[in-house]
Amino acid sequence: MRRDVFQAIADPTRRAIIFLIATQAMTPNAIADNFNVTRQSVSKHLRILAECELVKPEQKGREIYYSLEIEKMKEVDKWLDKLRKIWETRFDQLDKVLSNMKKHKK
């Protein structure tokens, strides 16, 4: 099953991981140190985030560093833009209606 970005951020631990690595790439151990969860659990969450392309693993020596894919995070804002555009369209239409109403009043 293909995972998607919205599923990925539904989990509070994964959201916390996203925050943690937003500013710097980190190893699973370093991430685990920040939470009250096991290294195994962090790895599982990282795998899900990686499958959704929200994080990118990078091998550096013996360690794997995970960093955030900023562009992918932006997708979550897209639907809000859609809603905003609906209102823009509506109000542009209303501007025209009001302009007609004004003319008829005169």
Partner 1 sequence: MNNDLLFDFTVDKASKTVVITREFDAELSLVWDAFTKAEFLDQWVAPKPWTSKTKVMDFRVGGRRFYAMVSPEGVERWAIQRYTSITPKTNFKMYNAFADKDENPELPGSEWDYSFTEKADRTIVRITIYNESLERMERMIEMGFTEGFRMSLKNLESLLESLSNNRK
Applying CB under 8 A, the residues found at the interface with partner 1 are 4, 6-7, 9-10, 12, 15, 19, 76-80, 82-99, 101-102, 105
Q: Which two tokens stand for residue 70?
A: 């900023």
- List, in sequence order, every beta strand (DSSP E) within 31-78: 55-60, 63-68
33 vs 88, beta carbon nearer partner 1:
88
Q: Residue 9 is inside which H or E element, if any?
A: none
63 vs 91, beta carbon nearer partner 1:
91
CB of 24 to partner 1, least distance (A): 18
60 vs 78, beta carbon nearer partner 1:
78
Identify the three-state secondary structure at position 61.
coil
Rg (CA), the chain: 22
CB of 59 to partner 1, least distance (A): 29
Q: How far apart are the C-alpha atoms of 59 and 27, rounded to whole Å?
A: 10
11: how many CB neighbours lie within 10 A of its CB?
Answer: 13
CB of 88 to partner 1, least distance (A): 7
CB of 18 to partner 1, least distance (A): 8
